[in-house]
Amino acid sequence: MTGLHPPAEPYATHRVPVGHGHVLYVEEVGRPDGVPVVFLHGGPGGGLVPVARRFFDPARHRAVLFDQRGAGRSTPHGEVRANTTWHLVADLETIRRRLGIGSWLVFGGSWGTTLGLAYAQAHPDRVTGLVLRGVLLLRRSERDWFYQGGLRHLQPEEWARFVAPIPPDERDDVLGAYHRRLHDPDEERAREYAQAWGRWEAVNSSLRPDPELLAHFTADDHALPVARILSHYAVHGGFLTDGQLLDGVDRIRHLPAVIVNGRYDLCCPPVSAYDLARRWPEATLRIVPDAGHSAAEPGVTREVLRALDEVTARVESPAGEPGHRRPPLAGSAG
């Protein structure tokens, strides 16, 4: 990943109880008096990776990163009880108050865009701006694309591998069939399905095959907890009504925002970013012409860093009187 800020270690870490037995791992990087920004990782269930810290300018940002319920270093690992979008929205408020932050910029990728939009629409007064990378709205059409065969036209051999463990008479609902098996109390049996699930996620997460990503998604200690949480959210449509996040855009149209999407994103096709931008004309949409889903792809990395710089500048130097609508940020990456 080129162009990122230097590797950084947290200047503070926290264990934050949020109820129902869940305790979140939270870290802060950058400078304590910097512009507050919260990072929302993908998945759900994916957890933090250290490189995420490098998107933030250590001289400019106070970046808050955390493992969502059941993910990464949060406990209990892989737990789906009391784990919904709305629990995570409440967790963000708990963390914000715990750290004494009045409002913050929201940066999310993939599932993190879903959570970021849900949070911002629930608490628009606590958000200063948004950077959204690889938009996922969890509509029925998006879930059917990924889990019910739409993507098979581009990945026929991988789709055949993905559905092979599911009996033919259950393939009218591949997502539901996987969900039942991933949550089998027999973890050894469930782990076999998690390997196939993890491979499908990995092979569609970058424009070019990434052996390290494939190994990570199918690793024994990672595959099952992540697959359980991800399937739990997917089978419930993210605990959202279909189109809810588009219908709620009017609550946040006054906030500066940049939307970045790879042209060839197989997990989160750019139609969702486009639909969001049509409902949010004040936001800036940048389609990266030579990229897929991964934030590690050079064009996506470049545009996310650019977006963070621009939205941070808006936060640092707000223009006009209260209620003044600033012009949109310039240009498309395409």
Catalytic residues: 110, 265, 293
β-pairing, 127-133 vs 61-66, is: unpaired
Nearest to 200 by CA among 180, 232, 175: 175
Q: Contact at 8 Å (CB) between 93 and 16?
A: no
257 touches 74 (CB < 8 A): no
* Cα-to-chain-centroid distance, residue 26: 16
Radius of gyration of the chain (CA): 19
- Whether 255 and 119 have beta carbons less than 8 Å apart is answered as no
For residue 268, which amino acid is it?
C
Each as own residue / partner, the long-range contacts of residues 239-246 (CB below 8 Å, 24 or more positions apart, any chain) are 239/84, 239/85, 239/86, 240/85, 240/114, 240/118, 240/138, 242/139, 242/140, 243/137, 243/139, 245/114, 245/117, 245/118, 245/121, 245/137, 245/138, 245/276, 246/137, 246/275, 246/276, 246/279
Cβ neighbour number for residue 308 with a 10 Å cutoff: 23
End-to-end CA separation in angstroms for the chain: 20
- Tokens of residue 197, six digits: 């699930």
